[in-house]
Amino acid sequence: MKPPASTRRPKTGSKTGAKDASSRARDRHRPPRIGFASLGCPKALVDSERILTQLRAEGYETVGAYADADLVVVNTCGFITDAVEESLDTIGEALAENGKVIVTGCLGAQPEKILARHPNVLAISGPQAYESVVGAVHQHLPPAHDPFLDLLPPQGVKLTPRHYAYLKISEGCNHRCTFCIIPSMRGDLVSRPIADVMREAERLAKAGVKELLVISQDTSAYGVDLRHAPGEFRGQRYKASFEGLAEALGELGIWIRMHYVYPYPHVDRVIPLMAEGRVLPYLDIPFQHASPRVLRRMKRPASAADTLERIRSWRAIAPDLTIRSTFIVGFPGETDEDFDMLLDWLGEARLDRVGCFPYSPVEGAAANALAGAVPDEVKQERHARFMERAAEISAEKLAAKKGRRLRVLVDAIDGGIAIARSEADAPEIDGVVHVRGGGKLAVGEFADVVVTGSDTYDLEAKLAPGARGAASAATTKPLSS
């Protein structure tokens, strides 16, 4: 049973035995081959998908082993010290096993760090620099003459399973949280026009995607930079705003899950859409803390909001609303009182899914200059107490679901058990539903189940009568209220 964790993607290039350069010399009749390692968060994953989609459109082939590739692209993460190390190690492995390596992604914004360890990389670019990456690939491994356009699947190349996909709606962020260096790497908010987002969403739905995970740095700020300029989708006009986007995506008839939402007042207007089942009753809100003093020092968006009151009012409209969040404990200057306030807040808010990280300094972040560093042992102790409380709440909330009928989406089959997710479970970061007798379900199929048990993070269930072949994403219904 897995605790909530931050998302970490597998590499798409594996690390099997090395070949020398001559054995990799290209047969001019075969397409050029790319190895790819994708590290970091879902936003980086979407960048990887775009790069791979472009390269596939141009006739490049992707291969699973670095040694079988003509060249390797490493999409790095530079968010925290561990991620930087993992990125540098991955570049080193790719160099050792292949020799021709192009680096992109968040760590690419600090090329000196990469060059200090790996001076032989062919090219370095920062996040979202799709053209630069593809240009560097062209320079070091020219494309084949035939573009193989007919080989490109209509939804592009996805690194997620076929039945769910991430939908990136904007880049960058207008906030300046003191612990974060993302705005300095990715710049201010730049939203995609809503018609453009909806074209991609519809293409994915038509290609068989059953669940879209909406991501950005600040999803609730979507369209602010566009002054909410409307766009057309299926003959209707929708505003480029959080609400307009939820309305338009709600027309697709698949699961729509909103990540990285901040509790701005206008978020209230999307809750009725959740109650109606147009978008999933699920909000991923990185609250980070509850003490106003700490939030001010973090310079968090919407830090003055009375979040407990907001959560109460949302649940009054959408009682099944699942709230996921992440928190930082041990931020510089956090006192015992601040931490107790956070624990009390969590007890009141009773969030469904919670991740927590002991504060660790990020190179270049403004928080490094703040006084009041919290000793490591205090951070660890607070982290353990926080997670213990969060686990109790999670277990209680899941136990209360026993006997309910839920719609689930199947992610995998393990013998006679289907590993599925309900509306309350985002892939990879939340819990799962183990469906007994679900071995004959198909991956990507919706089914109705009845909850039979639970533990701290996951549910046990059995197939409900008539569960098979539920084609639609229609919302959860209680068996008894």
Give the one residue of 31, 301, 358, 438 binding ligand SF4; rule: CB under 6 A.
Answer: 301
Can you tell me which of 49, 86, 97, 218 binds ligand SF4, judged by CB under 6 A? Answer: 218
Tell me the closest approach of the beta carbon of residue 354 to ligand SF4, in angstroms.
17
- State in angstroms the smallest separation of the CB of 176 from ligand SF4: 6
DSSP states along 282-346: EEE---B---HHHHHHHT-TTTTS-HHHHHHHHHHH-TT-EEEEEEEES-TT--HHHHHHHHHHH
Report the alpha-carbon distance of residue 430 to residue 459 in Å, rounded: 11
Residue 417: CB atoms within 10 A of its CB come to 16
Tokens found for residue 459: 């549910």
Query: Distance between CA 369 and CA 359 in Å, rounded?
Result: 14
Kindly tell me which of 2 and 176 has the beta carbon lying closer to ligand SF4. Answer: 176
Select 41 or 271, whichever has its Cβ closest to ligand SF4. Answer: 41
Q: Residue 177 or residue 429: which is nearer to ligand SF4 going by CB?
A: 177
Residues 147-186 that bind ligand SF4 (CB under 6 A): 173, 175-177, 180, 182-183
Write the DSSP string, 149-192.
Answer: GGGS-TT---SS-TTEEEEE-EE--S---TT--HHHHH-S-EEP
Alpha carbon of residue 219 to chain centroid: 12
Q: How far is the CB of 348 from ligand SF4 (least distance, A)?
A: 24
Gap between the Cα atoms of 183 and 173, Å rounded: 6
Residue with smaller CB distance to ligand SF4, 167 or 180: 180
Rounded to the nearest whole angstrom, what is the least distance from the CB of residue 299 to ligand SF4 in the complex?
8
| Least distance from ligand SF4 to the Cβ atom of residue 181, Å | 8
Paired tokens of 148: 């193989």
End-to-end CA distance of the chain: 28
Report the DSSP pairing between strands 71-76 and 164-168: unpaired
The torsion defined by the Cα of 283, 287, 291 and 293, in degrees rounded to 10, comes to: -140
Give me the least distance between CB of 204 and ligand SF4, in Å please: 25
151, 96, 84, 153: which is closest to 120 by C-alpha? Answer: 96
Q: Does 453 bind ligand SF4 (CB under 6 A)?
A: no
**List 12, 90, 217, 475, residue binding ligand SF4 (CB under 6 A):** 217
Query: Which lies closer to ligand SF4 via its Cβ, residue 175 or residue 462?
Result: 175
Q: Residue 189 Cβ, how far from ligand SF4 at the closest point, in Å?
A: 9
Q: Which residue, 120 or 368, has its beta carbon nearer to ligand SF4? A: 368
Question: Min. distance of Cβ 301 from ligand SF4 in angstroms?
Answer: 6
Size of the site for ligand SF4 (CB under 6 A): 10
Q: Which is nearer to ligand SF4, 139 or 184 (CB)?
A: 184
CB of 331 to ligand SF4, least distance (A): 12
Amino acid at 17: G
Distance between CA atoms of residues 51 and 164, nearest Å: 19
Binding track over 260-299 against ligand SF4, x by CB under 6 A: ----------------------------------------
| Cα angle 414, 418, 423; round to 5 | 140
Give the footprint of ligand SF4 on this chain (CB under 6 A): 173, 175-177, 180, 182-183, 217-218, 301
